[in-house]
Amino acid sequence: MFDAMDVGILSFIIAALHAEWNLTPGQMGWIGSVNSIGMAVGALVFGLMADKIGRKNVFMITLLLFSLASGASAFTSSLAIFLILRFIIGAGLGGELPVASTLVSESVPVEKRGSTVVLLESFWAVGWLIAALISYFVIPAYGWQTALIISALPAFYVLYLRIGLPDSPQFTAVQKKEKVSVAENLAKIWAKDYARQTVMLWIVWFCVVFSYYGMFLWLPSVMVMKGFSLIKSFEYVLIMTLAQLPGYFTAAWCIEKFGRKFVLVVYLIGTAVSAYFFGTANSTALLMTSGILLSFFNLGAWGGLYAYTPEQYPTLIRGTGSGMAAAVGRIGGVLGPLLVGYLVAQKISVSMIFTIFCISILIGALAVFILGKETKQKELV
C-alpha cells in the first residue's frame, strides 16, 4: 500500500511539475525512469541481501529508505536534486517489493500461498487509490510538496515491524544449516535446474514493467493530451484505479483454481487488448471502458507474477532469483517512460505508443505460455 501510494503520487506530481517547472516531455520521462533505475539497483542489491541477512531486516531497511527520501523530496526546488532523491526512493521500493512477497510466500501453507500473495499485492490498488485521493484533494489545494510530506509517514511503521513481524521460518531454518556466498547464489540461478525459469521470468518481468510504467506513469498526462483538464484527468484516473481491486480479487481466486500460468497468460492478453483500445479510443466512453479493463487485467497479472516468481527457486536462492528478475524488469521501467517522452516529443500518436505496449505484453504472455512451469500446490524447499 505504501509502495503504491508513493509511485501513484509520483504520476500525478509529474503532471503538476510539468505545469509548475515548465518541464519538457523528455524531463518528465526522466523522473519516472530515474525512479526505475533506483528500483533496478534496489531489487538487485536488496534481493542478494535478503538471502544473507534475512527477509525481515531488508524489509525494514527498504521501507525506511523510500519513506524518508520521499519526505525529503518535498523540500527541493531543483530538478537535479529531485531526481537524486527519486533514485534513492526507487532503490527502497525496488528492494522491498520482491522481498515482501518472498517473506509471505515462505510463511503461509501451500494451499493458500498463491492467493495470499495476490491478496498482499492487492494493497497496491489501495495505495493507488490513496495516491489518487491525495492528488485530487491535496495537490490542487495545498501543493505537491504537502503530498510528498504525507508519503513520508510510512517510516513510522518500521517501529511496529521491528517488534511485531517474525522473519521467514524457512529462511531461518536454511540459514542455520548452510552459508552460501553472493557469487554462488548468482551462479545457481543460471544452473541447469533453474536456467529455463530464469529466462522466462526475466522476459516476462521486462515486458510487464516496461509497459506498466510506460502506460500508468503517463496516464494523467495522456488524459491531458487527449484534451481533458488536469483535474478532470485526475478524476478519470481515480475511476480507472478502482478497477484494480476486482482485478486482484478475481486473480486471487483463479490462481488456486486454475493455476499460475492460466492467470498470467489470460490476464496479460486482457491487458494487451485493453491497452490497444485505450490508445485508439476516440470517445470518452471507450476511453473509460478500456482504461477500467486495462487496470483490471494489468494489476491482476501483477498479482500473479509476484505469486509465481518466488515459487521458481529454492529458499537458499529465492531472494536472489526474485530480486534479479525484478531488477531486469526495472530496466524496462526505465525505458518505458523515457520512450513515451521521446515519442511524444516526436509527435508520435498516443495510439501508436499504446500499440507498442500491447505487443510488449503479448511477448510476456508468450514467454510464460511456452517456458513457464505450473507451480500450483508445489511445496517450497
Alpha-carbon distance of 329 to 340, in angstroms, equals 17
In a domain, 310, yes or no: yes
Q: What is the pLDDT of residues 167-179, one digit of tens each?
A: 888 888 887 776 6
In a domain, 73, yes or no: yes
In a domain, 100, yes or no: yes
- Is the model's pLDDT at 311 over the cut of 80? yes
What integer pLDDT is reported at residue 347 of this predicted model?
A: 85
What integer pLDDT is reported at residue 180 of this predicted model?
A: 67
In a domain, 177, yes or no: no
What integer pLDDT is reported at residue 78 of this predicted model?
A: 87
Alpha-carbon distance of 106 to 55, in angstroms, equals 10
In a domain, 87, yes or no: yes
DSSP 228-240: --HHHHHHHHHHH
Residues of the chain above pLDDT 70, percent: 98
What integer pLDDT is reported at residue 230 of this predicted model?
A: 65
In a domain, 171, yes or no: no
pTM (2 d.p.):
0.86
Residues 273-282: what's their mean pLDDT? 90
Alpha-carbon distance of 186 to 50, in angstroms, equals 13
What integer pLDDT is reported at residue 91 of this predicted model?
A: 95
Alpha-carbon distance of 86 to 260, in angstroms, equals 33
Element (H, E) at 102: helix 79-105
Place of cell 515459487: 311
In a domain, 159, yes or no: no
CB contact set of 77 (below 8 Å; sequence gap of 6+)? none
Band of pLDDT at residue 242, cut at 50, 70 and 90: confident
For residues 240-259, b (16+ Cβ closer than 10 Å) or e, as one string? bbebbbbbbbbbbebbbeeb
What integer pLDDT is reported at residue 99 of this predicted model?
A: 92
The answer to whether the beta carbons of residues 25 and 341 sit under 8 Å apart is yes
Angle of CA points 357, 265, 195, to nearest 5°:
95
Q: What is the CATH number for 282?
A: 1.20.1250.20
Residues 194-215: what's their mean pLDDT? 94
Residues of the chain above pLDDT 90, percent: 51
Find the domain containing 38 and state its range: 2-150+182-371
Alpha-carbon distance of 163 to 98, in angstroms, equals 22
Residue among 290, 308, 258, 320 nearest 43 (CA): 320
Question: Three cell numbers at 364?
Answer: 510476456
Residue among 211, 209, 204 nearest 370 (CA): 204
Query: How many domains does the structure of the chain reveal?
Result: 1
In a domain, 351, yes or no: yes
